[in-house]
Amino acid sequence: MFEGVGPDVEWHESLEAAVGAAQRGDDTAFRTVYRAVQPQLLNYVRSLVGPADAEDVASEAWLQIARDLPNYRTGSGSIRGWAARIARNRALDHIRARSRRPVNGGGVDDLVQLPDRADTAGEALDAVATDRALAAIAALPREQAEAVLLRVVMGLDSTSAARVLGKRAGSVRMATHRGLRRLAEILEYDSADPGERADRTDRTDRTDRTDRTDRQDRKEHGDDRTAGYGDGTAAVPQQRPADRPHADVTFSASKAL
């Protein structure tokens, strides 16, 4: 239904119009909203819970989206951001329930196993929606991983992403910028020779110390206060393998974010 729509603003307005029609009971409009949002939403959920459970969690999210859609206020923000918040809450519920069951492997552990072949840093954004790039994102620090997922995979602006996470837009922009730079380094690391890897490991140690200091400073200055419709729920657990350094290198593509 959105074929031929030109600028992003016009496309956004058309999507919001479809949401309004769906709220009035138009099934065709609801299918249009589903087709527009589902691909990115599924990638986002897959990154949080793993590929094995992503379809089930996304389906649970859509059941709630359909049930709560009459409460969504068109023009109050982004339907993608609103849907992402619901999906994130369902993913959190799933992770909590899974943590109470015996673990037989899978989940986040599966996401950090990267293939041997590596892309270059310049291909990081182009590949971000692929399984391999999603696995690399899962290896980022949790704050950066969620920011990159919401900004790049879900396509949210800083304000909408901040509402989902319950943070300030400036914090989300900074986390996205750093996450993309680290993502580029992860993808490049696999193709480096042993000498280069050792050098990057040393730089990573210094970067990690700097990041810990920055996070503490933001916490002390109240930079993580809840905002918008963020619900203040616990963060999604993310794992970062010790054998994959994350040096803070320049990634110019992230500056546009």
Of the candidates 39, 175, 149, 177, the one whose C-alpha atom is nearest the C-alpha of residue 85 is 149
Higher pLDDT, 54 or 116: 54
**8-state DSSP, 153:** I
CB 87 within 8 A of CB 57: yes
- pLDDT 10s digits, 51-102: 889 999 999 999 999 999 999 987 666 899 999 999 999 998 998 887 765 5
- pLDDT 10s digits, 189-230: 765 666 665 565 566 556 666 666 666 666 666 654 434 443
- The domains located in the chain, with CATH, are 1-111 (1.10.1740.10), 115-257 (no CATH)
Of the candidates 135, 139, 174, the one whose C-alpha atom is nearest the C-alpha of residue 158 is 174
**Residue where the block lists tokens 């400073």:** 217
Rounded distance, CA 50 to CA 28, Å?
A: 31
For residue 99, give both structure tokens: 């943590």
- pLDDT 10s digits, 143-202: 888 898 888 888 888 898 999 988 999 999 999 999 988 888 887 776 566 666 556 556
CB 166 within 8 A of CB 230: yes
Of the candidates 65, 77, 81, the one whose C-alpha atom is nearest the C-alpha of residue 31 is 65
Q: Which helix (H) or strand (E) holds 214?
A: helix 194-220
Amino acid at 79: I
